[in-house]
């Protein structure tokens, strides 16, 4: 029996939404039933066995809707396997892991989720919103820096962790962090 997985995201310019879609596609390819939704569209997480949540990262901050989603669903998320990611770095620092904002780190700890994985982002003139983003998108930082192989490999690791729990009858960790994939 396949697991039902929610891949929720909070995106500003569409790059994080694209990453969420790729994660959903990979999980489906591994036999899971997956819904990929903007966090604002998620009404209830009760039907899901596992949750993947991603947010765009701007000035080391998650989108408010993603943080609100975590806050409002702490109790239900504690009962599920949860993975977090954020996206946004471009340019020379695009491959460096970014520290989770303190509010997100606190909520991740409460839930038992592992630290967020960082994926490089996309910055293009036609989707850039705001003065600073438009200015940066017209320079050397412009382009799509997302590493689709890294994203697919991470999603495949999530699938393996979900499958390992499904097959395991001798030990079921009580917190999603106990499934850490490294």
Residue ranges of E strands in 31-174: 33-38, 50-58, 61-62, 81-87, 117-119, 122-123, 143-144
Mean pLDDT value across residues 80-101: 73
CATH number for domain 4-165, candidates 1.10.10.60, 1.10.1020.10, 3.40.50.360, 3.40.640.10: 3.40.50.360
pLDDT above 70 covers a percentage of the chain that reads: 73
- Point out the least confidently predicted range of 14-23, 59-68, 78-87, 161-170: 161-170
pTM of the model: 0.81
pLDDT of residue 44: 94
Distance, CA of 12 to CA of 41 (rounded, Å):
15
- pLDDT tier at 51, thresholds 50, 70, 90: very high
- pLDDT by residue (tens digit) across 121-170? 776 656 655 555 554 545 555 567 788 999 999 999 999 999 887 655 43
CA distances from 25 to 29, 103, 113, 145, 162 (A): 6, 29, 22, 19, 15
- pLDDT tier at 177, thresholds 50, 70, 90: low
Distance, CA of 99 to CA of 91 (rounded, Å):
17
Task: Read off φ and ψ for residue 27, nearest 5 degrees.
Answer: -65, -40
Q: Is there a contact between 179 and 161 (Cβ–Cβ < 8 Å)? A: yes
Grouping H, G, I as helix, E, B as strand and the rest as coil, residue 9 is strand
- pLDDT by residue (tens digit) across 130-141? 555 554 545 555
H/E run at residue 10: strand 4-10
pLDDT of residue 38: 98
Mean pLDDT value across residues 16-23: 96
Rounded to an integer, what is the distance from CA 89 to the centroid of its chain?
14
């Amino acid at each position: 029996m396949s697991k039902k997985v929610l891949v929720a995201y909070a995106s500003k310019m569409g790059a994080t939404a694209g990453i969420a879609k790729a994660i959903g596609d990979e999980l489906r390819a591994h036999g899971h039933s997956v819904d990929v939704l903007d966090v604002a569209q998620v009404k209830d997480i009760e039907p899901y066995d596992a949750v993947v949540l991603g947010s765009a990262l701007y000035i080391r901050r998650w989108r408010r809707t993603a943080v609100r989603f975590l806050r409002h669903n702490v109790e239900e998320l504690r009962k599920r396997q949860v993975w977090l990611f954020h996206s946004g770095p471009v340019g020379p620092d695009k491959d460096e892991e970014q520290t989770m904002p303190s509010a997100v780190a606190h909520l991740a700890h409460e839930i038992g989720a592992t630290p967020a994985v960082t994926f490089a982002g996309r910055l293009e003139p036609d989707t850039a919103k705001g003065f600073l983003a438009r200015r940066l998108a017209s320079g050397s930082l412009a382009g799509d820096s997302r590493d689709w192989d890294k994203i697919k490999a991470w999603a495949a690791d999530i699938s393996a962790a979900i499958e390992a729990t499904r097959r395991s009858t001798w030990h079921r960790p009580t917190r999603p962090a106990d499934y850490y994939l490294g």
